[in-house]
Structure 1
Amino acid sequence: MSPAGPSAAGTSAAGTSDAAGILRVGVVGGGRMGAGIAEVCARAGLDTVLCEATRAAATAARERIAASLERAARRGTLDRASAEATLDRITVTAELTDLADRQLVVEAVTEDAGAKTEVFAARDRIVADPAAILATNTSSLPVMRLGRATGRADRVVGLHFFDPVPVLPLVEVVTTLHTAAEVAAVVTDFATRTLGKTVIRSGDRAGFVVNALLVPYLLSAIRMTESGFATAADVDRGMELGCAHPMGPLKPADLIGLDTVASIAESLYDEFKEPLYAPPPLLLRMVEAGLLGRRTGHGFHVYDREERPGSPG
């Protein structure tokens, strides 16, 4: 892939004046979130490049997307021709330089400030068009800290999707003190019109809107279980049947991943220093033990192989 200069069709001013000008998207990180973001972009007809750290990881990410599309085809939510066309629009790579001609690049690597900062600095060097937008899917880290690793902080924005990305309709658009108003408008239009998502806007503080409300609730349920006051099953059953929640708090904690919940909690506590955000000892011990929830088969609940993310069925 060769870098596109400012005069290339669809780049520079055309690439950011409105969402219709964004035709080439890059995603860094091919885990559940990154693969999901790449999938929804490709479903929307966009030329999508997904970059992973190694060729093996990139291949695994493509297989993850193919399995997701196959499930959608089996369920009848996507016809097979569209599923095949979607996969054809996705190029996987282990070379960040393959993102050089992208107009929007979304970072979706592990929820670690050091790793994300490194990706932002590298993208800033590689992405050729100075008008390209650099976005992050961080669920908890202040976006401005990441933007400061670049020479274009005005082009940096939070674009926070929710798991599973092809299913859940919400995207949080997070603007920093540096983000240009034009960039916020373009990514909002992109998420709504191009991807068909619903957008809520958030200021740049740890947790944004959803996780700042959700995570203290999850942590409270973990503390209740930790104290022996109620079992995990009863905590979840109580909120499902007593408050009409589709899932009690410990099931979504398992689905998100207990390591991710702990990481978000630590980011929230670092920013606000409020005890309700501090990760409970039980959560930290479970993460240390590798009991991370659905993807490992064991968290606050035990899961059959068919219930794990990415499994057949």
Structure 2
Amino acid sequence: MGKMVWAHLAVPVKEVSLDVILPSGQAFRWKKHHDEWVSVLKDLVIVLRQDDNQISYRALASNNLPVPDSILEPVLSDYFNLSIKLSRLYREFGVRDSYFKKISPSYTGIRILRQDPWETLVTFICSSNNNIKRITQMIDNLCRTYGEYITTYNNIEYYTFPRPVSLCTSTCVQTLRDLGFGYRAAYIYKTALQVNEWESAGNSLSQLRGQPYEQVREFLLGFKGVGPKVADCVSLMAFDCHSCVPIDTHIWNIVQKRYATTAQLRASAKSKTMSKIMYDTLSQHLRKLWGHYAGWAQAVIFISELRKNE
């Protein structure tokens, strides 16, 4: 195995907090080993460490050779959305929202990751009625079964995320069911068929980046197993739709406690089931409150609620 040399990103922990972001339910392939976070990005095994003022990183490719920094630095800068200054957003959110201003000093460094569209789509189909631990296990099983082996690091084997064509087989649904995917197995198979057909026609999911949120959301809702919440998660975390606000039970609860300022919102928040109209009402209210980067504010509120319930 080639020697992996550490390189560094001069980014303070208040802008990127790995220990908060990576296990919070945005991405599900990061594994913690002592002071290192390890995952696969762009078919490379990425290893990260962090101190107060920088992120140290290194990587291995499938040939077990180290990856040059000229390749790695742009990958990580893109993945962590480093062109967006979090401190500026926190100040803006604090002006708009007194509750955000109150809690934000305790939850710094929370930002939205910019993930691969196909991987994010499949991952969040798996997230329906599920928890982080089980989603992580499902994605590990998917990669081990259908991905390609890259290398072993700290006695753990790492695999690529399978491309859609790899899942377009007659045995895929049963295999995924055997791996514990349940009803989601058929959703993933049908989604793989649709995306493979889209790509075979010369298209790419990433070409939707930069398109209006409503257009991206409508496209995603065309996939089996994708409802409003999954579509919003994928739009936010893979398609640069920074204003969209996914509504799950944690956000629903926080709206009821902190943001139900009108009779309509109070009625929506107190309902035992969430209709599409209710979902859209709550989401639109929070987009108006927090502005163009509302999804980033939602991530902070979401994690604050998650941590309180741990």
| TM-score of the superposed pair, with normalisation by structure 1 | 0.31
Greater relative CO, 1 or 2 (CA 8 Å, sep 6+): 2
